[in-house]
Structure 1
Amino acid sequence: MTGTEDLISALRERVAAAHERSTPLAIRGGGTKAFLGHPVDGAFLDVSALTGIVDYQPGELVVTARAGTRLAELETVLAEQGQMLSFEPPHFGADATLGGTIATGLSGPRRPWGGAARDLVLGTRVINGRGELLHFGGDVMKNVAGYDVSRLMAGAYGTLGVLVSISLKVLPRPAAEATLVQQLDATTAITRMNELAGKPWPLSGAYWETGELYLRLSGAERAVDAARDAIGGDVDDDPDRWTRIRELQTPLTAGAEPLWRLSVPPAAPLADLPGDQALDWGGAQRWLVSDADPATVRDTAEKAGGHATLFRGDHDARFHPLPDAMRKLHQRVKQSLDPAGILNPGRLYPWLDSAR
């Protein structure tokens, strides 16, 4: 066997042994997103050595890489071919891996226009909670219980399986980009972003913070120039603007204060909550820096037609509670893939690992 096959075999053996003993495992790659979700009390299962691009076909817009592959390395290879990960994933550190990116299901500012991380997953190789190596996606293996299991891995935080490799759809990099900035209050910015969403302009980012609305345009040079003239505003020449937005390193989002992520309809008014807010994804994603009571934050998000997640901070319930029907679906899938509940137990919801 090759070195990679030996490594996969060793991981399978560890998971299988843990399954037999009902021993919890804490899956870890680069560790840059370990602060997300709840801490896992289990033995570390290190997958950081599962590295390398397995297959890349620029003409087909498809890349397959192992879970431990550094995100920066993958993006560099794609850039050399004039391509990119269109969901613009945040890194949160130089050691960010592809597996951690997909496991947390995070997408950056380009998400409404380039698609979410989940949308771009074509297939996966996964070690389930029994230590079996499974292939999902395409014609390789029928999905469990009728679900698209590959895409279920995006945002599952490792609770459904140990990602071994991921196949993704990639897209061409835009020929031209420009960022405009307009001085607007939050209410006017929400209206403005929703108006622009209905126009045929090549938007790829819309972010508001502390009185400034940033609008990124991406596409053919002529289309970008036309949109810039039509939309108006000052040209923002900061080359790191969208990297800081992506990495939550803006004046509002950086720091150690509790940070809430609110997912609400784009036209929803600004939440009446204490603290400061930023608007991303054309207004559909709101960042709230606040010490407000979690129940109040979640109730406010629900009334607006959305939900709230404690992205950064300490609390017993970081993720928004699910309705009973959704809980049952989660438990059904979890039972199918990890019957002993050993993979990242407690990372999402305590009730998800009831088998333990």
Structure 2
Amino acid sequence: MIEQFRARILAAGAAGTALRLRGGGTKDWYGQAPAGELLDTRAYAGIVDYEPTELVITARCGTPLAEIEAALAEKRQMLAFEPPHFGPGATIGGVVASALSGPRRASAGAVRDFMLGAVLMDGKGEVLTFGGQVMKNVAGYDVSRLLAGSLGTLGLILQVSLKVLPLPLCVASLRFEADEIAALRMLNEWAGRPLPISASCWHDGALSVRLSGADAAVAAARRELGGEELADAAAFWASLREQTHAFFADAGPLWRLSLPPAASAIILKGEHLVEWGGAQRWLKAGGDAATAAGIRGSVAAAGGHAVLFRGGDKGVGVFHPLAPAVAGIHQRLKLAFDPAGVFNPGRMYPAVSVQPDLLS
């Protein structure tokens, strides 16, 4: 399979054509429109190594996410960043390339934080190995983490090694009535206390929080916070992770706003949903150029950035514009890994590679 990939990549480079790297295609809608001839990675699949006592799993890019989660669940372990599937065909390569995380992201970390190593085929058909399978083996720049969120623009991710964590011993979810400003104040106050909060969501006058950890810690937090028990809690948090919650049912433009958690409520027209302790805020608003400029201006003034996550006019740019110096760094990275511009051209920005990270 490796030789087949190399032949396709070298032929594309020689012919000046582009390749569209794709696994299950569950995130084809994310980013700018895909372009190029399809290179399907699903045949290169399988868990290469899983050592539960070391909390590390290594798998090929086409391995279904469901297969990995099933193997981890047998040992009461998990991918702590709760990657969304967005469909039954999700693969671990797509998880890393998109770097999308679920409700636990603010407490556990992002995809990049769990990247231990990766094997990449670059635009010259060379197989490059970065990092490894233990936490303390990285010397120099950690390229494996750079691949998280690159949307396949730097090369073909052949294999990844990820840190995993044990499932929490106890989980409880609480609900509070609060408006957005009060909810943000509560979340920021709680963030400064030793509370085992593993997820949060505010929407439509209700704040929900999930507590995860040891039985005693969760019980103490429940007594301290009060509130009422959240009904169907597992289904609720799953609906946020997979965006099947009623808030996401509208097919109109959806913005993802990344802000400092302490930032006040952003007064923008449209329905809001707040996650990650206030650091991720979803907004239903127009996707035209004027609306995009207004949203990005307001969010930037508050110290954040805005992504046109879904719908709208992608001509306004899906991702927040990069500062010139940062864009230059990304252009040089693209040139180093993919000099012929073979991989997923324009999927993020013209000639650049890496998505601005959330909660940086």
Distance (Å, rounded) in 1 between the aligned partners of 2:78 and 2:132: 22
Pair 1:234 & 2:228 matched: yes
For residue 40 of structure 1, report the CA deviation from its aligned partner: 2.3
For residue 133 of structure 1, report the CA deviation from its aligned partner: 1.2
Pair 1:50 & 2:49 matched: no
Secondary structure at the counterpart of residue 237 of structure 1: coil
Per-residue Cα deviation, 1:203-260 (whole angstroms, up to 9, x for no partner): 1001111111110000011111111111111111313111001112222122211000
- The answer for the alignment partner of 2:314 in structure 1 is 315
Query: Of the candidates 270, 276, 288, which is equivalent to residue 275 of structure 1?
Result: 270
Q: Contact 2:21 / 2:39 at 8 angstroms: preserved in 1?
A: yes
For residue 139 of structure 1, report the CA deviation from its aligned partner: 9.5
- The answer for the alignment partner of 1:150 in structure 2 is 144
Distance (Å, rounded) in 2 between the aligned partners of 1:91 and 1:303: 33
TM-score w.r.t. the length of structure 1 is: 0.94
Distance (Å, rounded) in 2 between the aligned partners of 1:165 and 1:319: 26
Gaps of 5+ in 1: 1-6
Distance (Å, rounded) in 2 between the aligned partners of 1:256 and 1:66: 33
Please say which of residues 251-260 and 281-290 is displaced more in the overlay.
251-260
Pair 1:246 & 2:244 matched: no
**Structure 2 counterparts to residues 41-190 of structure 1, below 5 A:** 41-138=35-132, 147-190=141-184
Distance (Å, rounded) in 2 between the aligned partners of 1:130 and 1:159: 14
For residue 261 of structure 1, report the CA deviation from its aligned partner: 0.4
Query: Of the candidates 203, 207, 214, which is equivalent to residue 208 of structure 2?
Result: 214
Pair 1:191 & 2:185 matched: yes
Query: Of the candidates 251, 259, 284, which is equivalent to residue 254 of structure 2?
Result: 259
Percent of aligned pairs sharing the same letter: 51
Matched AA of 1:25: L
Secondary structure at the counterpart of residue 66 of structure 2: helix
Gaps of 5+ in 2: 354-360
Per-residue Cα deviation, 1:322-355 (whole angstroms, up to 9, x for no partner): 00110111011111100011100000001438xx
For residue 52 of structure 1, report the CA deviation from its aligned partner: 0.8
Q: Contact 1:19 / 1:131 at 8 angstroms: preserved in 2?
A: no
Q: In the comparison of the two structures, how many residue pairs are matched?
A: 345
Secondary structure at the counterpart of residue 206 of structure 1: strand
- Alpha carbon RMSD of aligned pairs, Å? 1.6
Q: Contact 2:254 / 2:285 at 8 angstroms: preserved in 1?
A: yes
For residue 125 of structure 1, report the CA deviation from its aligned partner: 0.8
Distance (Å, rounded) in 2 between the aligned partners of 1:71 and 1:278: 27
Distance (Å, rounded) in 2 between the aligned partners of 1:129 and 1:297: 36
Query: Of the candidates 20, 24, 34, which is equivalent to residue 26 of structure 1?
Result: 20
Distance (Å, rounded) in 1 between the aligned partners of 2:121 and 2:138: 14
